[in-house]
Structure 1
Amino acid sequence: MSHHGKEELKAPRKLKPAELQGKHRDPGDAAKQEAKHREAEIRNSLLAQVLDQSAWAWTSDLVLVKPEKTKAVEDYLVQIAQCGQLSGKASGQGFIEILENVSQKTENNC
């Protein structure tokens, strides 16, 4: 019985270093999360400049079905927004055309 008692005493000591390591990683993780959050805000801001309400609706629907396709389309939209290549906001129909254009490009690259 005393043998089990010693093991029980050792177990908490083994957990403490792991807990400390976890605490040391948190600031880095928090900084990464904050950077991702800022990047997402900038991205959404750019998308808001180039998409009208119906196009936003298409984006919301597409992300549920094909999240990887949504990212490719959003990347393309952010790129053209940054370059000023889009005059005005894309409508739902414009979004569909962009989606088809991006789909053709990604299919041809495979």
Structure 2
Amino acid sequence: MDGLEWTREKYAATGARQAGKSAEEQKAAQEQARQQDEAINGFLSQCMDQNARARLNTLKISRPDKAKMVEQIIVRSVRSGQVQGRIDEPTLIGMLEQVNSQMPKTTSSVKFDRRRAAIDSDDEDDYGC
């Protein structure tokens, strides 16, 4: 075995160890994130009304970033004592309006290319007759 082959094998082995280490770190990070999500979900289920919880879950499906912000606001509000008792749906709606005012407006538009639609003309009614 010459020096070049030995160097290649050495770097390949080092790379494999580093790749294995990063995979273990990723797995540990995923596990920690899952545990944090479970803790937050448990906390939210204790301090929220069933209807408010259903609304938040619906929001989480459609807009996960906004739902995350609302969850953080709820946790902060309950821990600091700003909210007494359980959070009901009207209180959650107020928090959603607060988040909406903080989030930047996004405009979406639909562009319709009329030239492509003109190619497939429905004006011809001859049907091969």
Instruction: Judge same fold: TM > 0.5, yes or no.
Output: yes
Partner of 2:112: none
> Please, which of 72, 75, 87 is the counterpart of residue 78 of structure 1?
75
| Aligned positions of 1:42-81 closer than 5 A | 42-81=39-78
Kindly, what percent of the aligned residue pairs are identical? 28
Query: Tell me, which stretches of 5 or more residues in structure 1 are unaligned?
Result: 1-12
Query: Greater CA radius of gyration, 1 or 2?
Result: 2
Query: Tell me, which stretches of 5 or more residues in structure 2 are unaligned?
Result: 1-8, 105-129
Query: Residues 49 and 81 of structure 1 are in contact (CA less than 8 Å); yes or no, is this contact kept in structure 2?
Result: no
Partner of 1:88: 85
Query: Residues 51 and 89 of structure 2 are in contact (CA less than 8 Å); yes or no, is this contact kept in structure 1?
Result: yes
Work out the CA distance in 2 between the residues paired with 1:26 and 1:105: 37
Instruction: Decide which structure has greater helix share.
Output: 1
Deviations 1:35-88 (A, max 9, x none): 112211221122122211101110111112221111111110011122122111
Pairwise CA RMSD: 2.2
Normalising to structure 1: TM-score of the pair? 0.70
Structure scoring higher RCO (CA < 8 A, sep ≥ 6) equals 1
Normalising to structure 2: TM-score of the pair? 0.61
In the alignment, is residue 28 of structure 1 matched against residue 20 of structure 2? Answer: no
